[in-house]
Amino acid sequence: MKSFPNFLLSLCLFYGCQSPRPDPVIVPAAIDAIIGQDFFAFKKDALIVYENGLKDAALLLGQYTNRPTAPKNNPTQPESAVVFAIDNALSGEHYKLDIDKTGVSIKSGSVNGALRAVQTMRLLLPEEFETPQSDKGSAALPFISIADAPAFSYRGMHLDVSRHFFPVAFVKKYIDLMALLKFNVFHWHLTDDQGWRIEIDGFSKLNSVGSFRDETLVGHYNDAPAKYDGKPYGGYYSKDDISEVVEFARARGIEVIPEIDIPGHSSAILAAYPEFSCKDHSDKVATTWGIFDAILCPKPETFEFLDAIFDEILPLFPSKYVHIGGDEAVKTRWLQCPNCQALIKQNALKNEYELQAYFVQKVADMLDSKGKSIIGWDEILEGGLSDKATIMSWRGVEGGVAAAKAGMDAIMTPTSYCYFDYYQSEKESEPLAIGGFLPLQKVYEFNPIPEGLNENESAHILGGQGNVWTEYLDTPQAVEYMAFPRMIALSEALWSGSKRKDFKNFVNRLERFKKRLDALAVNYANHLYEIKGVFNDSTSEPSYSLFTSLEGQCIRFTTDGSTPTAKSLEFKKPIPIRQNTTIKALVFQEEIPVSDLFEQKIQTHLGFGKTVIVSPNPHSSYSSGGPKALVNGIEGSNKRFGDSEWLGFWGDDVSISLDLGEETDVQTLSTRFFNSNGQWVYAPKTISVQADGQAPVVMTIQRENTLVTVRVPIHAKTRFLKIEVVGFGMIPDHLQGGGHPAWTFIDELIIE
Ligand code: ACM
Ligand code: ZN
């Protein structure tokens, strides 16, 4: 190997190399990394050599860097700059990467370890290498010593290509970005009510009929009346497309798991082949979102159909797993179908849930006989199931916990941490999304291992996955906006695990990583300079504080309604709130505003900043504002029930006690409830409010809009108000979330 003395580095012009850069940005953070002072010159003609078994890793690095590769010990090879060597002491994806004056040494026990090292190498190279126009000239690689391995063996990203369809070129870009972040599973959601997206020869109507819909909903699913665009929409991947993607992923050490979502989410299948439905139903490829009654009837011809479909699909996917969906299967038709009811009797099943288990078991056996294991959404646990399945826990972590306790494997993808179709910012100007609120920090804090599992049970939690459902994402750019940067935060939660850095450290690296995302032409969301506020009731009087995710920023603010300038007050200490106040703020760098305008109205009222007790506690996923969020003068977002101003309760009735501090003349209590039924959120049945010595005033709640405002007349002198909220209860079976308790979300309690 050739060494490259330090003094020559200053002669960069001579060598055409980059000037030495600050510490490299490594995401996900390596478990152990020691960075040296010096640099190795990775010259344009540098040779990459590899030992037996590591050729794919060398080829990939060769491809990223435009440098030649050769097997090690090829007698004609010149001195090498990079050596991929087998080290049998390193298992799985474990790798060691050392750069010193002799060059780059990569050691691993398997090609997958070497492939992860290639991605770390990529992070050590200048960002410019990522651009198509780069000549990938000589580059200075920092001396470094890394020993690295993942916390979790399953690190997945999902993409829904049914609701919207994305070209192969984009799917490959997505997979390459996954590889960069050391994800190792691509979950390809290929079928759903809104379109079947994989070529099938034996049942060609799946494509000619099932891959196309007449039109698509415009706006949000909750908007009334619904509007449609009137434009036919569709497409599917040919078998060659699929093979191209699978090979592209394989070359990066990424397994592709196809999902064929059955027995529900099957409108597109049944539009093409109504004969696999319970009798007399006709379905069309869905043009709107949500869930549908369409469900496969578990009759012999349906299983023959599935057998034939899998025989066509499986040769395309070397993965050990096939995802068979199983989520949100509405049982209404099974209840009414003589065939289904006869099957329930014949097999001594208790109900339609056990019939779903029967269906899934038959598919699991079918796939087992073809050498595959199944993954299913956590609904497949309902009605009992064999230990052959791996559970993907999405409706919370409970499904994964139940699976692990039963000795089954599980992958954690709870909506509250892993659904990247949820809003990521509280800004009203964000692109339309399904709802919810999942900010970057919450993703970063995700731990796939829930509390309460012992060591053996925890070993069944294989890892986690980010899900990108695309109802509201109709272009690659829209997908990138929702996936980035949250997918980067998730990569660190899954790769670095308990050894991850703190969020501030992550954000500071992310700020510098943006340059690489720019080079890769990723349309990421950029909320790092976004100003956030927090209400304080621990100070001597109610006050409000401002901050950004990035440390050390200069935030200037006003309270007189004007837009802040470089001369406005800098935020240094909490702002006292004594009357109705509008705080406006901007981040300034050298007198130039670099953030969007932050604006927060605070409306004081008789309950403002008073003592409030809530029972039971809000659900841990939706409690960030704490009880004080009910009386801090700040309304929740009109679109994001997951923000810190809404408090969420899952299935519980809620009792609230408000102490006004002294006897007060109260006329009304007003509040708002969120009502977004597609996400299982329902305005409650009733609210009652009781003043001291008075009978409670009970109001029944009308549930018409997404935001439901109630105004309860009180007209009493009282110190205490006792508020009881009776939730919606169980969601009916035929609706999304059927059979589960509804969520209740409560906003500010305004006392006047
Ligand atoms: C799902 O989000 N229906 C798995
Ligand atoms: Zn049936």
The percent of residues in the chain predicted with pLDDT above 90, rounded, is 86
The number of domains in the chain is 4
Region 506-535 average pLDDT: 94
pLDDT at 1 over 80: no
- Report the alpha-carbon distance of residue 393 to residue 380 in Å, rounded: 10
What is the tens place of the pLDDT at every residue in 311-326?
999 999 999 999 999 9
pLDDT tens, position by position, 418-441: 999 999 998 888 999 998 899 999
- Do 359 and 326 meet the contact criterion of CB atoms below 8 Å apart? no
pLDDT, mean of residues 226-249: 98
Among protein residues, the one with the nearest Cα to ligand 1's atom 2 is 394
525, part of any domain: no
Structure confidence at residue 79 (pLDDT):
75
- What does the pLDDT read at residue 21? 56
Strands 707-726 and 611-615: unpaired
Clarify whether residues 405 and 543 are in a common domain.
Answer: no
- Nearest ligand, CA 378: 1
Helices (H), 426-502: 440-444, 455-458, 476-483, 486-495
Cα–Cα distance measured from residue 614 to residue 636, given in angstroms and rounded to the nearest whole number: 17
Backbone angles phi, psi at 67, to 5 degrees: -120, 150
The CA radius of gyration of the chain, in Å to the nearest whole number, is 28
Is 747 in the active site? no
Ligand 1, CB cutoff 6 Å, lining residues: 327-328, 377, 394
Residues 6+ apart with CB under 8 A from 638: 428, 706, 707
Task: Round to whole Å and give the CA distance between 268 and 235.
Answer: 12
The enclosing domain of 126 has a CATH number of 3.30.379.10
Residue 70 has pLDDT above 90, yes or no: yes
At 293-306, the pLDDT tens digits run 999 999 999 999 99
pLDDT exceeds 60 at position 4: no
* Predicted confidence (pLDDT) at residue 19 exceeds the cutoff of 80: no
Q: Which amino acid is at 638?
A: N
Residues 192 and 306 in one domain: yes
Residues 618-627: what's their mean pLDDT? 86
Domain boundary among 148, 180, 203: 148
Give the SS3 label for residue 535.
Answer: strand
* Four-residue CA torsion sign, 624, 626, 632, 636: positive
Nearest-CA residue for ligand 1 atom 1 is 327
Residue 711, pLDDT score:
97
Peptide linkage before 618 cis (omega within 30 of 0): no
Cα–Cα distance for residue pair 85/58, rounded to 1 Å = 10
Residue 327 pLDDT greater than 60, yes or no: yes
Predicted confidence (pLDDT) per residue in 667-676, tens digit: 999 999 999 8
Ligand nearest the Cα of residue 192 is 1
pLDDT at 3 over 50: no
Report d(CA 598, CA 586) in Å as an integer. Answer: 6
The dihedral sign for the CA sequence 724, 730, 732, 735 = positive
- 158, pLDDT greater than 80: yes
Q: What is the position in ligand 1's atom list of the atom closest to the CA of 415? A: 2
Q: How far apart are CA 246 and CA 228, in angstroms?
A: 35
Q: Examine the residue annotation and report whether 192 is marked as an active-site residue of this protein.
A: yes
CB 725 within 8 A of CB 712: no
Please tell me the distance between residue 29's alpha carbon and the centre of ligand 2 in angstroms.
Answer: 51
What value does the mean pLDDT take over residues 244-255?
98
Task: Identify which of 47, 49, 45 has the alpha carbon closest to the alpha carbon of residue 15.
Answer: 45
Whether 294 and 425 share a structural domain: yes
Q: Give catalytic status of residue 265 as yes or no.
A: yes
Q: What is the pLDDT of residues 260-283, one digit of tens each?
A: 999 999 999 999 999 999 988 999
pLDDT (0 to 100) of residue 13: 35
User: Which ligand is nearest the CA of 471, by number?
Assistant: 1
Domain annotation covers residue 574:
yes
Q: What's the average model confidence in pLDDT over 107-112?
A: 98
- Assess whether 88 and 158 both reside in one domain: no
* pLDDT at residue 705 in the model: 87
The enclosing domain of 701 has a CATH number of 2.60.120.1190
Q: Which atom of ligand 1 is nearest to the CA of 394?
A: 4
Measuring from atom 3 of ligand 1, which residue has the nearest CA?
327
In angstroms, what is the span from residue 415 Cα to ligand 1's centroid?
Answer: 9
- How far apart CA 46 and CA 52 sit, in angstroms, is 20
Nearest residue to 485 via CA among 61, 187, 180, 113:
180
Which of 594, 677, 649 has its CA nearest to residue 220? 677
Alpha carbon of 394 to ligand 1 centroid (Å): 7
Output the CA 325–ligand 2 centroid distance in Å: 19
Q: What is the average pLDDT across 14-36?
A: 77
Choosing from 265, 323, 460, 605, which is the catalytic residue? 265
Which H or E element spans position 12?
helix 12-15
| pLDDT value at residue 517 | 98
3-state helix, strand, coil in the chain (%, to 5): 25, 30, 45
Q: Indicate the helix (H) or strand (E) that contains 241.
A: helix 239-250
What is the rounded distance in angstroms from the CA atom of residue 432 to the CA atom of residue 515?
Answer: 26
Residue 6 has pLDDT above 60, yes or no: no
Place of tokens 């509390």: 451
Q: Is residue 334 part of a domain?
A: no
Please check whether residues 85 and 205 belong to one and the same domain: no
Alpha helices in 337-435, H assignment, sequence order: 338-346, 352-369, 398-405, 415-418
Do residues 54 and 132 share a domain? yes
Lowest mean pLDDT among 338-347, 532-541, 565-574, 673-682: 532-541
pLDDT at 17: 45
Q: Are residues 464 and 582 in the same domain?
A: no
pLDDT of residue 436: 86
506, 562: one domain: no
Of 519, 523, 575, 566, whose CA–CA distance to 547 is shortest? Answer: 575
The pLDDT of 531-556, averaged and rounded, is 90
Q: Would you say residue 104 has pLDDT above 60?
A: yes
Residues 590 and 641 in one domain: no
Segment 41-64 mean pLDDT: 96
Enclosing domain of residue 266: 154-326+358-519
| Residue-level pLDDT at 223 | 85
Q: Which of 221, 330, 394 to mutate to test the pocket of ligand 1 (most atoms within 8 A of CB)?
A: 394
Q: How confident is the model at residue 630 (pLDDT cuts 50, 70, 90)?
A: very high
Q: Residue 325 CA: which ligand 1 atom is closest?
A: 4
What separation in Å is there between the alpha carbon of 326 and the centre of ligand 1? Answer: 9
Predicted pLDDT of residue 5: 38
3-state secondary structure 154-212: EEEEEEECCCCCCCHHHHHHHHHHHHHCCCCEEEEECEECCEECECCCCCCHHHHCCCE
- pLDDT tens digits for range 712-744: 999 999 999 999 999 999 999 888 888 899 999
Residue in 189, 328, 375, 393 to alter for ligand 1 test, most ligand atoms within 8 A of Cβ? 328
Of 480, 495, 519, the residue that ends a domain is: 519
Quickly list H helices, 370-468. Answer: 398-405, 415-418, 440-444, 455-458
Q: Is the pLDDT of residue 508 over 80?
A: yes
Q: Which amino acid is at 625?
A: G
Same structural domain, 384 and 410: yes
425 in a domain, yes or no?
Answer: yes
Instruction: List the single range of 90-104, 462-476, 618-632 with lowest mean pLDDT.
Output: 618-632
Rounded mean pLDDT, 118-124: 98
CA distance 206 to 203: 6
Contact 52, 31 (CB under 8 A): no
Decide which of 594 and 517 is more confident: 517
The structure tokens 């459902």 sit at 469
Are 235 and 314 in the same domain?
Answer: yes
List the CATH number of the domain containing 366.
Answer: 3.20.20.80
Q: What's residue 58's pLDDT?
A: 98
* Residue of 221, 265, 291, 377 with the most ligand 1 atoms within 8 Å of its CB, for mutation: 377
Q: Name 361's Cβ contacts closer than 8 Å, sequence gap at least 6.
A: 385, 386
Give the residue-averaged pLDDT of 604-629: 92
Percent of the chain whose pLDDT exceeds 70 = 97
| Helical (H) or strand (E) element with 65 | helix 55-65
Look at residue 8 and tell me whether its pLDDT is greater than 80.
no
Q: Does pLDDT of 15 surpass 70?
A: no
Ligand closest to Cα of 294 equals 2
| Closest of 715, 531, 725, 543 to residue 633, by C-alpha | 543
Per-residue pLDDT band at 386 (split at 50, 70, 90): low
Residue 283 included in any domain: yes
The pLDDT of residue 12 is above 60: no
Nearest by Cα to 483 from 438, 429, 426, 532: 438
Instruction: Enter the tokens of residue 490.
Output: 């998730």
Question: Of 212-221, 288-297, 459-468, 731-740, which range is least confident?
Answer: 731-740
Q: Which long-range contacts (CB under 8 A, 24 or more apart) does 547-550 make?
A: 548/587, 548/595, 549/440, 549/441, 549/503, 549/504, 549/507, 550/507, 550/508, 550/511
Q: Give a yes or no: residue 527 inside a domain.
A: no
Nearest atom in ligand 1 to 377's CA: 4
Same-domain pairing of 207 and 184: yes
**Considering the domain boundaries, does residue 349 fall inside one?**
no
- As a three-state string, the secondary structure of 564-604 is CCCCCEECCCCEECCCCEEEEEEEEECCEECCCCEEEEECC
> Among the three residues 116, 148, 180, which one is the final residue of a domain in this structure?
148
**Distance from C-alpha of 190 to C-alpha of 225, rounded to nearest angstrom:** 30
In the numeric block, the tokens 């991605």 are attached to 119
The DSSP call for residue 306 is H
Distance between Cα 337 and ligand 2 center (Å): 5
According to DSSP, residue 743 is labeled E
| pLDDT per residue as tens digits for the range 172-202 | 999 999 999 999 999 999 999 999 999 999 9
Average pLDDT, the chain: 93
**Domain annotation covers residue 332:** no
The answer to whether residues 410 and 156 touch, using CB atoms and an 8 Å cutoff, is no
User: How far apart are the CA of 191 and the centre of ligand 1, in A?
Assistant: 12
Catalytic residue among 328, 378, 382, 409: 328
Q: CA dist 518 to 130, 133, 141, 256, 697, Å?
A: 9, 14, 21, 26, 58
- For the entire predicted model, the pTM comes to 0.87
Average pLDDT over residues 565-588: 96
